[in-house]
Amino acid sequence: MNELVTLRRGIYHDSVSLMRVSKALSDLPGVEVAIVAMATTLNVGLARDLGFEVPACEPSDLLVAVRADDPAAAADELDRLLDALSRQSAAQAADLPPRTTRAAARSVPAGLALVSVPGEHAFAEALDALEAGLNVMIFSDGVSLEQEVRLKALARAAGLLVMGPDCGTAVIAGAGLGFANVLKPGPVGVVAASGTGAQHVTCLLDRAGVGITHVLGVGGRDLSAEVGGLATIQALRMLDADPATELIVLISKPPDPSASATVQAVVAELSTPVVQAMLGATDLTSATAEALRVLGRAVPEWPSWEPDSGGRAAGGRLLGLFSGGTLCQEARLVAGHGDFTDFGDDAYTRGRAHPMIDPSLRLEALDKAEEGDTVLMDVVLGHGADPDPAATLAPAIAAAPARVVVCLVGTEGDPQGLGDQVSALTRAGAWVFTSNADAARFAGGGAR
């Protein structure tokens, strides 16, 4: 393997775009690793940890580090990808967009600002948006608890909502933000301190023929003792005031008791019924069934599919390899045993794309599974996620000696094609479930 390390000055692209470029280069034949990122302290440290010798640089430099059989060919492909990004950026800049959030709020009618910048800058942008009278969705992580509490307290005083930080999923009047599935319109509003939890419940509702008004993500820390449910309470009241919302579903990992008590007091005051999907007290599939019963709708059988080959024998370890933190925690609780990893945790996403976009870390873990093991995985479809997750997962599943069980989160309207994903995964030898709780029970040794 040969290495190429260069710094390019005067070039800037956002981190998500550069992560996609890095992944495209990494997928080339003969490329062992490729990093294309702004030369921040974090990214330079990541490159050096991988053995690259990075010269002195500034955060405004573009760092390129490639280890490959033919680095020159990779560099040529990089030039092509960066040229395409530059043309796209130039086209977007042709209209001279506003340079600040507040200026943007003055120039175009809007009710919400989406903040997706490095965490150390997210607070200032979110504050700017609140002062401009906008609700805010903070996709960024890396915002301190103190900053989160301050933003949410300011929002409450102004009658606004802060979703996040680290809010990966929201749906506002049918428009998906972040990772979002294609959902039918309908009577259910969702408040979620969990992105993949919200996606799972809404996809099950969609399969049952029930649609959504809004999905309001509040960030995974909102029901902590420090934040005290500030955004959860605001989101509940907003949905309660929405005449199109006939039922609210509240989704969270186990909340802090004091935050939960505060929220329960508010729930008791609402005119709209609330079904609570709090892990530890229930599972997401059972909570979805309860929501359907409250609406007077039938609870369907949640589909599952057997592998075409009949599947591999089990009896060894249970390994959970998840991209969604709530789905990971739910599966651990339902299965009752096993070794579970949430690859969407911040510890695994520093300097790399989320596993719903880049499955490489999960593929490495799957490759280490042994004969007799059972591997339980989630595969999440929708906008923002991998455009064809089965294209990379199916070959790895087929080559693995372990039994593989998949919870497939998606709808028939998602761009990846739910049926196509099922077919590819079952042909590769996986068991596929639409219910995460059912998948966990089966993987843990329970009945199908």
Whole-Å CA distances, 144 to 52, 121, 364: 31, 11, 32
Give dist(CA 176, CA 230) in Å, integer.
23
Q: Where are the beta strands (DSSP E) in 193-344?
A: 212-217, 247-252, 274-278, 304-305, 318-322, 339-342
Closest CA to 150 of 82, 158, 368: 158
What span, in angstroms and rounded, lies between the C-alpha atoms of 172 and 135? 11
Complete DSSP assignment for 164-225: -SS--EEEETTEEEESB----EEEEEEEES-HHHHHHHHHHHHHTT--EEEEEE--TTTTST
Classify 304-443 by CATH class: alpha beta
Q: How confident is the model at residue 228 (pLDDT cuts 50, 70, 90)?
A: very high
Q: What is the pLDDT of residue 93?
A: 54
Please name the CATH architecture into which domain 188-206+218-298 falls. Answer: 3-Layer(aba) Sandwich (3.40)
Query: What is the mean pLDDT of the segment spanning 84-96?
Result: 66
Q: Where are the domains of the chain?
A: 2-93, 188-206+218-298, 304-443
Q: How confident is the model at residue 87 (pLDDT cuts 50, 70, 90)?
A: confident
Confidence band of 199 (pLDDT split at 50, 70, 90): very high
pLDDT for 447: 47
Per-position b or e across 310-325, b if 16+ CB within 10 A of its CB: eebebeeebbbbbbbb
- Could you tell me if 383 and 415 are in contact, meaning their C-beta atoms sit under 8 angstroms apart? yes
Of 321, 360, 364, residue with least CA distance to 343: 321
Contact 242, 225 (CB under 8 A): no
pTM of the model: 0.80
Tokens 């309001």 label which residue? 216
What SS3 state is found at 119? Answer: helix
Same-fold call for 2-93 versus 304-443 = no
Half-sphere exposure of 13 (CA within 13 A, CB side): 23
Range with the poorest average pLDDT among 71-75, 105-109, 325-329: 105-109
> Sorting pLDDT into bands at 50, 70 and 90, what band is 84?
confident
Cβ atoms of 218 and 235 closer than 8 Å:
yes
In this structure, of 101-105, 257-261, 423-427, 430-434, the range with the lowest mean pLDDT score is 101-105
Question: C-alpha distances in angstroms, 164 versus 151, 172, 226, 347?
Answer: 10, 15, 14, 18
Fold entry, domain 2-93? Alpha-Beta Plaits (3.30.70)
pLDDT band at 293 (very low <50, low <70, confident <90, very high): very high
pLDDT reading at 75 higher than 90? no
Residue 192 has pLDDT above 90, yes or no: yes
CA distances in angstroms from 187 to 203, 210, 240, 263, 329, listed in the order given = 14, 7, 12, 22, 28
Which residue in the block uniquely carries the two structure tokens 């966990």? 440
Tell which wins on pLDDT, 217 or 26.
217
